[in-house]
Amino acid sequence: MPIDEIAQKVSERYARAASTGEQMCCPTSYDMANLKSFIPEEVLKISYGCGTPAGLKTVRPGETVLDIGSGGGIDCFEASRLVGPTGRVIGIDMTDTMLEIARKNAIVVATNLGYPASNVEFKKGMADAMPVAENTVDLIISNCVINLAPNKRKVFREMFRVAKPGGRFTVSDIVADQPVPQYLIHDAKKWGDCLSGALTLTDYMAGMTDAGFVGIHLITSSPWQRIDGIHFFSVTLTGYKLPTQLPTAAPRYATLRGPFSRVVDERGTAYLRGIPQPLTQDLALLLSQPPFDSLFIFSPNPRWLDRADPRWASVLPSQDPCLWTGDFALLAGPFLEVCDDDHHLFRRGEPVEICSKTRRVLETNGYSSHFAILNRAGEPAGGEAVSCAPTGGCC
């Protein structure tokens, strides 16, 4: 199916949904009671997505926020409230019906917020060719829209172009645990259902890295649908466009605390727990981002750690038999590759089958924010508990 035809059919479907009230994509978790205090019902009832824009929790007054696929404007209006009257919000959408509803309600929202004028601008445009100047946006958000774009790598490049140095994105989207086959890719209806255009988590995160973003990591994940053995699930991801300069007192060494025993960052640099790693300016900029700060110790001189140091972090599995229940773990950043203390190797986005003991490890505080976990068992697994090693250690 030609790219132009895909975009047209998706636009027509969302325009029809706006008119009929059809529910699209998967459930979100908006605080509707709060939003109803300043956003009209006409907007709230056509709010489609696969997550709540967690990135808005990081917004500061006066910032510029861009919403890709703004629809009726719900996320833009919440961003408008958070950035305040001195901030700016830009919404981009390709569907005229959605834009008409959003523009009409922008004045109502501004009045409800007590602003002298609306600070939200809605523009017609495509995600892969955004009508936004480069280096102008503090935060990019998107809610289950990028999977609808046929050329996602072009979308990621556009995101990087418009983000300011030091800017960030937080997007919710649908991804798959394996490549989507051609018979689904060419199904126009399933494009509108956020299925046909889904990338694997590996390809999605790699596309953002190739565009220039770093520190890409998971905020939340949840299963959505399973079709013909393919698991589709919702993820919310955050990443950064590095600032151009380091603070004057930039660290010269980083020591991995754990809980991983080994990690490889997005630049391909490997770190072993407890062993100081010298930092180039590029690496110091990379590791200065929030997903890394709790995992490393930064210092002007080499600093070694051992198991007796209270800053050393590790999580060992319980010493009892394993159950295999159909669980698979997918590393979702901010590293390309990690190892745990039982020598499991996880590569970003690649499903790895895990036993019950490993799942309990990955669900602890140190690990849980880095993994999405899916269950591929078609029915409850009935296998007996087994010992994976003579010592009772994990598989």
Judge contact between 338 and 312, C-beta under 8 A: no
Residue 175 has pLDDT above 90, yes or no: yes
255-284 tens-digit pLDDT: 999 999 999 999 899 999 999 999 988 888
Contacts of 252 (CB under 8 A, 6+ apart): 278, 279, 284, 299, 300, 301
Residue 167 has pLDDT above 50, yes or no: yes
Phi/psi of residue 3, each to 5°? -60, -45
Among residues 387, 33, 2, the alpha carbon closest in space to that of 186 is found at 2
pTM: 0.88
72-131 tens-digit pLDDT: 999 999 999 999 999 999 999 999 999 999 999 999 999 999 999 999 999 999 999 999
Judge contact between 232 and 178, C-beta under 8 A: no
DSSP letter assigned to residue 54: G
What is residue 390's predicted lDDT score, i.e. its pLDDT? 47
Distance of CA 167 to the CA centre of its chain: 15
Strand arrangement of the beta sheet that strand 296-299 belongs to: 276-278, 253-256, 296-299
What is residue 395's predicted lDDT score, i.e. its pLDDT? 60
Residue 251 has pLDDT above 90, yes or no: no
What is residue 52's predicted lDDT score, i.e. its pLDDT? 61
Name all contacts of 260-263 with Cβ < 8 Å and 24+ positions apart.
Answer: 260/295, 260/335, 260/338, 260/339, 260/340, 261/314, 261/339, 261/340, 261/341, 262/338, 262/339, 263/295, 263/335, 263/337, 263/338, 263/339
204: amino acid identity, one letter: Y
pLDDT interval class at 235 (50, 70, 90): very high
Residue 176 has pLDDT above 50, yes or no: yes
Q: Which residues in 335-352 are b (16+ Cβ under 10 Å) and which e?
A: bbbbbbbbebebebbbbe
CA distance 105 to 230: 39
Contacts of 289 (CB under 8 A, 6+ apart): 214, 215, 240, 242, 334
Residue 240 has pLDDT above 80, yes or no: yes
Looking at the chain, the number of H-run helices and the number of E-run strands are 13, 17
Judge contact between 148 and 216, C-beta under 8 A: no
Residue 227 has pLDDT above 80, yes or no: yes
Residue 379 has pLDDT above 80, yes or no: no
What is residue 288's predicted lDDT score, i.e. its pLDDT? 83
Contacts of 270 (CB under 8 A, 6+ apart): 262, 263, 264
